[in-house]
């Protein structure tokens, strides 16, 4: 924390609906800060497709320096389908930040909030409360920008290292232990494809090694295809799941869909020193500027940031503030708020106003 006892937050609003969902999150943080005695200093910086169009870079060096100096990084959504690098890939500073700051643990919670519809029969009675932990710096994504394409074929290389896998599994076991202490199952499932690929057999072997250090955590191992099938039948059977980057990219979208959609889903990319917090959804240029964007995922990402800051700096009031935001969101949805993505009539302004009132 800075000398004036305020958390310094780097704010990268990004493209599309990114700025539209960022503004409510900052309003919520300011209000909860007033109530809990927390101080915030927000510094906005450019990143994304629009900045690339203007300058030829996804982020200026000043943005990276700000992120390095800040206590945490809040990211809206970056990239536009119509703006691409010469190799035809999209502008994605959110991925670049993971590599720059070694943010190896992608944390994707999926909790069904009362009043939010789920496509899973019985979910309203049984509940859904799980976390996908996605390795975020290697796996198939290690090949980003390095793939080889010829007229005849294209090749990408998956990389799994012992160092990153050990850190990832330690992080995952500690999270399972913390959830168990809070009354959750505290179970951890390793998701892979170890029956086909040597790299995933290596991945699972390291999981087995780290498991021995955490005897209080119940563990399981599932192939990713079987896991995906089980998720859409009995998601309440899962607690914490850990997996390779590409698998996590796909499975976390499945789990977000189980709890109402990407607009409801927060996320974090966490390393040993730095962390980025952002909603799971994209920039949604089709609804940009129409007031339809659901800010809930962004608001809940801000709550995740407070919990991380509390753990990092030993400021218990920050964790309590994060829980206050989550309770406010629960109250709002239980009270009948229905975003447009659910076929309702409530847009960005309605949801923001309701959460602020609930605080």
| C-alpha to C-alpha distance for 88 and 76, rounded to whole angstroms | 23
* Residue 1: per-residue pLDDT: 52
The alpha carbon dihedral of 344, 296, 19, 50 has a sign of negative
Each residue's pLDDT expressed in tens, for the chain with a length of 359 residues = 544 569 999 999 999 999 999 999 999 999 999 999 999 999 999 999 999 999 999 999 999 999 999 999 999 999 999 999 998 888 889 989 999 999 999 999 999 999 999 999 999 999 999 999 999 999 999 888 899 999 999 999 999 999 999 999 999 999 999 999 999 999 999 999 999 999 999 999 999 999 999 999 999 999 999 999 999 999 999 999 999 999 999 999 999 999 999 999 999 999 999 999 999 999 999 999 999 999 999 999 999 999 999 999 999 999 999 999 999 999 999 999 999 988 999 999 999 999 999 99
The alpha-carbon radius of gyration of the chain (Å, integer) is 20
* Residue 144: per-residue pLDDT: 83
| C-alpha to C-alpha distance for 136 and 139, rounded to whole angstroms | 8
- DSSP letter for 58, please: S
CA distances from 313 to 183, 307, 321 (A): 24, 10, 14
């Amino acid at each position: 924390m800075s000398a004036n006892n305020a958390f310094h937050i780097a704010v990268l609003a990004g493209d599309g609906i990114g700025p539209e969902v960022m503004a409510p999150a900052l309003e919520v943080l300011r209000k909860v800060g007033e109530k809990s005695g927390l101080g915030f200093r927000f510094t906005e910086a450019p990143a994304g497709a629009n900045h690339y169009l203007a300058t030829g870079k996804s982020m200026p060096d000043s943005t990276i320096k700000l992120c390095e100096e800040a206590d945490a990084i809040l990211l809206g959504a970056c990239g536009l389908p119509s703006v691409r690098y010469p190799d035809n890939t999209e502008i994605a500073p959110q991925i670049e930040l993971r590599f720059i700051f070694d943010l190896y643990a992608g944390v994707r919670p999926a909790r069904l909030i009362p009043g939010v519809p789920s496509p899973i029969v019985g979910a309203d009675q049984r509940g859904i409360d799980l976390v996908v932990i996605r390795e975020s710096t290697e796996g198939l994504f290690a090949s980003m920008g390095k793939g080889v394409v010829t007229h005849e074929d294209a090749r990408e290389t998956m990389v799994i290292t012992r160092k990153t896998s050990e850190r990832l599994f330690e992080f995952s076991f500690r999270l399972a232990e913390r959830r168990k202490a809070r009354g959750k199952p505290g179970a951890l499932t390793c998701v892979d494809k170890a029956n086909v690929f040597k790299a995933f057999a290596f991945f699972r072997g390291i999981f087995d090694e780290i498991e021995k250090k955490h005897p209080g955590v119940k563990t399981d191992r599932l192939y990713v295809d079987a896991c995906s099938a089980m998720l859409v039948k009995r998601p309440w059977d899962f607690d914490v799941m850990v997996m390779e980057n590409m698998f996590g990219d796909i499975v976390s979208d499945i789990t977000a869909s189980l709890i109402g959609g990407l607009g409801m889903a927060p996320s974090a990319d966490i390393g040993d020193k730095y962390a980025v917090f952002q909603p799971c959804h994209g920039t949604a240029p089709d609804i940009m500027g129409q007031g339809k964007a659901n800010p809930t995922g962004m608001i809940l990402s801000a709550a995740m940031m407070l919990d991380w800051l509390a753990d990092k700096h030993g400021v218990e009031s920050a964790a309590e503030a994060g829980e206050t935001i989550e309770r406010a969101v629960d109250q709002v949805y239980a009270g009948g708020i229905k975003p447009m993505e659910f076929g309702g009539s409530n847009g960005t302004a309605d949801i923001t106003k309701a959460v602020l009132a609930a605080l």
